[in-house]
């Protein structure tokens, strides 16, 4: 029974992918395609799906964050770093920048941690420090400096 579901999902994935390559403006089809890729747990399918979606909708922060979450769950540090380089460049979204700081805080050793975290906060504040929603990041940064 699983094989049938697997092949059915594969053919549905291929059909949706083909449909969206000719007409990328079908939100329900994108949602279904992303769900099929996520359910497969196949990182190659997940990458392809999110990369294709984000090529059409490059500023879709919720999709960017979901993509990052998949990589974070699998510990794909190089992928995460590349995605942050790509996404942060033009992102005004405070949530994206907060996720970046969380990532930096979580992946540095104790010796280098303070230096790298401070640089991450400064980089973040340089980009979104004037945003009305950046207060929690400022608060976290000031708390970090006092530690």
More confident residue, 27 or 3: 27
Angle CA(116)–CA(135)–CA(64) in degrees, nearest 5?
A: 65
Q: Rounded distance, CA 126 to CA 124, Å? A: 5
pLDDT of residue 2: 35
pTM, to two decimals: 0.88
pLDDT of residue 109: 66
CB 64 within 8 A of CB 96: yes
Angle CA(102)–CA(105)–CA(42) in degrees, nearest 5?
A: 60
pLDDT of residue 99: 97
Q: Which of 3-7, 45-49, 79-83, 114-118 has the lowest mean pLDDT?
A: 3-7
Q: Is the pLDDT of residue 92 over 80?
A: yes
CA torsion, ordered 10, 75, 59, 51, to nearest 10 deg: -30
């Amino acid at each position: 029974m699983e094989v049938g579901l697997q092949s059915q999902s594969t053919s549905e994935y291929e059909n949706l992918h083909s449909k969206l390559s000719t007409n990328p403006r079908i939100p329900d089809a994108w949602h279904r395609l992303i769900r099929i890729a996520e359910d497969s747990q196949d990182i190659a399918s997940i990458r392809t799906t999110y990369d294709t979606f984000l090529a059409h909708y490059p500023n879709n922060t919720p999709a960017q964050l979901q993509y990052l979450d998949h990589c974070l769950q699998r510990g794909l540090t190089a992928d995460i770093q590349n995605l942050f380089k790509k996404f942060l460049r033009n992102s005004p979204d405070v949530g994206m920048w907060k996720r970046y700081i969380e990532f930096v805080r979580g992946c540095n050793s104790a010796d280098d941690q303070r230096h790298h975290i401070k640089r991450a906060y400064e980089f973040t504040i340089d980009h979104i420090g004037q945003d009305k929603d950046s207060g929690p990041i400022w608060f976290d940064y000031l708390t970090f400096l006092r530690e």
